[in-house]
Structure 1
């Protein structure tokens, strides 16, 4: 079923390295977006490590944040705890995957975010926290599944204690992403079997199953050329709960040999990683870790012969096309329909964090752009109910 909570967007689109920055983003963008759409709005907060530390260091900091959110007429049901540090630095790229889930730093940060979220939820409310897919495959020493499973089990036990103490249920949502340890649905379900085995050995399987699931980012799985209905059905069949859905679109190039490839060059930028996948005519997929000028100049024979490319560059979800390029917006309806067919309602938010690096003047009016995205997504959801 689809969530009946107010739809919102992920605030990782706003730079925020202090408590004041966080509130400033709500005032400058989130509240004006709510006024523009004319209905309640949920704030999908991103709490970078310095921000969550500051909130917890302030006397009654959680209560103060809750009061600030309420005073603005907003609600909070989900957090993004994927980016740990400065997500708006000049160069983020693969650093966004650090620290990974084998580290004490990632565990402590996530638990601190959960403590804050528990204070923002209503009595008896349910919350979710999205997080990275264990780590990045491209590092010289990729993180190990068993150690990550131990950390995630520790986190689940902490979330279970929070539920016992506060009556507020918080679920962690691991977000598969291209070129990460968990990128495909098959890899994700395989990891959860490892996680459940580790948890079972510690007598914590119930806590893990209740508190740890996935964040289904529609852009990420579309870049992998996964069918949305099959993806969600496979997770459900395997017993992996979808705790959060991020409504997002990727860039698509349906004729790599035409003029559209040159149009892709305007999406080459130094801040974020933009993985590229191509579907070959025999159905296989190939990928490269980032969209660069070097790649566009010489993509190689498989990419040259491919029928379509998809690029992990989040673009506004209301956009069918961007110049000669298409988007994966057609994946949104089957993705939301598959979510609607579940017996429970994951949290849903729009996540286009790339407004500041969109080519041209795309980021000139962020409030208008975010409002259009939310309205477009709400219409898609309304049409399914």
Structure 2
């Protein structure tokens, strides 16, 4: 059982990056010191999973030598980049993001053009001989009522165009860039079954349009372990189902959700709603054990502090709750709460059996909004490094190695 040998990677969407200057400052102030801590711990090199907000991607593309400026910074600081996060389009750090993170959706041409711009930038940053991945939203949100009748058709049209674009990018640059569509609770694609069914329809449309090979090469899935754990999907079953359906996992986001192990415990419920902060959505599911798996009893698109005392009956009658809040993967318990770290270990074990190597990226963007005092810069650096070391330790254990982080 062997996991990919690429450098350890974390997603820089945890740092504000509303301008090129802010992107470079985030790398200087956080990523370089994280690299230094990993080196001091005997770990290997570090990769930055970059996030370029739309204004940043546009500025870098328009600036003569813009991509080279980023590439030169990475090289000068012994960093590399093989994946981008193109899910958040705009300001991911404003006071309230919530469902705006799903805008623009895949029915809109601006989403396709932004994603292609990111892919083109990544092609200029990739180390020689590497393939790249770009993660994106699961078509759109399902929170605003019934979708237009032509919603999926418009998404498919833009995705087919992007597949052709990525094929042309490969012909022009020699770089393979793969799109990774990321299922998420309360989105158009949220479960693995929905995702597989969509890819069946997408491929049929691609074959009819004469771009089947481009779609099969360049379009796949981003498996965010937190998201599917919140859905109470088994990690092993997620990976096996995608492999059976021949849907390629182009990227795995290493992430853990918050778990409430006993909803009858009022103090534990109070601890859970401390994570109900106003910036991001915190989709919450309740489930009961069913044989070797789970049966979902309740779903909430978001929670607020009053949810501790005013949860619907189906939540209070359930055995376990899980909440979409990316908690640091190095933390194995949260007082009266748990994390879904066992699902992360199971996911990495399943991914290690694949005949190819998805990109692995730690994505804990929530450091600035964790309950309690906002972490200092130094605390955040220490925390991110601890997460990357934890990921390496899990990987080493699965590989049967006693050598520690690699």
Q: Do they superpose with TM above 0.5?
A: yes
Q: Which residue number corresponds to residue 261 of structure 1?
A: 269
Q: Which is worse superposed, 192-201 or 88-97?
A: 192-201
Q: Which residue of 2 aligns with 1:243?
A: 250
Q: Choose which of 112, 121, 128 in structure 2 pairs with 1:123.
A: 128
- Deviations 1:107-161 (CA, angstroms, capped at 9, x unpaired): 0000000110000012332000000000000123536222111111111111111
- Which residue of structure 1 lines up, in the alignment, with residue 402 of structure 2? none
Question: What is the aligned counterpart of 1:103 among 94, 102, 108?
Answer: 108
Query: SS at 2:183's partner residue?
Result: coil
Please say if 1:70 is aligned against 2:70.
no
Query: 1:268: Cα distance to partner?
Result: 1.4
Quote the offset at 1:359 in angstroms.
0.4
In structure 2, distance between residues paired with 1:281 and 1:317? 24
| Contact 1:280-1:302 at 8 Å conserved across structures | no
Asked whether the 8 Å contact 2:273–2:307 carries over to 1, the reply is no
Task: Tell me how far apart the structure 1 counterparts of residues 9 and 122 of structure 2 sit (CA, whole Å).
Answer: 16
Which ranges in structure 1 are unaligned for 5 or more consecutive residues?
none
Q: Which runs of 5+ in 2 are unaligned?
A: 400-406
- 354-363 or 71-80: bigger deviation: 354-363
Please tell me whether the aligned partners of residues 244 and 347 of structure 1 are also in contact (alpha carbons under 8 angstroms). yes
Equivalent in the alignment of 2:365: 353
- Give 1:281 deviation, angstroms: 5.2
Out of 286, 295, 299, the residue aligned to residue 284 of structure 1 is 295
Aligned pairs for 1:212-231 (under 5 A) are: 212-231=219-238
| Greater Cα shift, 308-317 or 323-332 | 323-332
Aligned residue number for residue 307 of structure 1: 319
Counterpart position of 2:186: 179
Say whether the 8 Å CA contact 1:320–1:329 is kept in structure 2. yes
SS in 1 for 2:95: coil
What is residue 373 of structure 1 aligned with on the other side?
Answer: 387
Contact 1:278–1:309 (CA under 8 A) maintained in structure 2: yes
Per-residue deviation, 1:347? 0.4
* Whole-angstrom CA distance in 2 between matches of 1:54 and 1:3: 33
What's the counterpart of residue 7 of structure 1? 8
Worse-superposed segment, 115-124 or 221-230: 115-124
Using the size of structure 1 for normalisation, the TM-score is: 0.98
- Kept in 2, the 8 Å contact 1:350–1:373? The answer is yes
Output one character per residue of 1:222-261: Cα deviation in whole Å (capped at 9) or x when no partner.
0000000111000000010000000000000010110200
User: Once the 2 structures are TM-superposed, how far is the Cα of residue 301 of structure 1 from its aligned partner?
Assistant: 1.1
Distance 1:299 1:12 in 2: 32
Instruction: Describe the superposition over 1:306-348 as per-residue Cα deviations: whole angstroms up to 9, x where unpaired.
Output: 0000000010001111121110011111100100000000000
Q: How many correspondences in the alignment?
A: 385
Structure-2 residue corresponding to 1:274: 282
Per-residue CA deviation, residues 24-57 of structure 1 (Å, 9 max, x unaligned), is: 0000000000000103100000010010011011
CA–CA separation in structure 2 for the residues paired with 1:384 and 1:61: 40
Q: Please, what TM-score do these two structures have when normalized by structure 2?
A: 0.93
Correspondence list, 1:163-202, <5 A: 163-202=170-209
- Indicate the residue corresponding to 1:34 in structure 2: 35
Q: Distance in 1 between matches of 2:25 and 2:146?
A: 39
Quote the offset at 1:284 in angstroms. 2.4
Alpha-carbon separation, structure 1, partners of 2:350 and 2:276: 33
> Aligned in 2, Cα 1:99/1:141: closer, same or farther, shift over 3 Å?
farther
Structure 1 residue 362, shift from structure 2 partner: 6.2
Instruction: Give deviations 1:147-183, integer Å, cap 9, x for gaps.
Output: 1111111111111111111111000000000000111
Residue 67 of structure 1: CA displacement? 1.0
2:216 corresponds to which of 199, 209, 217 = 209
* Distance of 2:309 and 2:328 partners within structure 1: 27
* CA distance in structure 2 between the partners assigned to 1:95 and 1:248 by the alignment: 21
1:284, 1:125 → 2: CA distance?
41
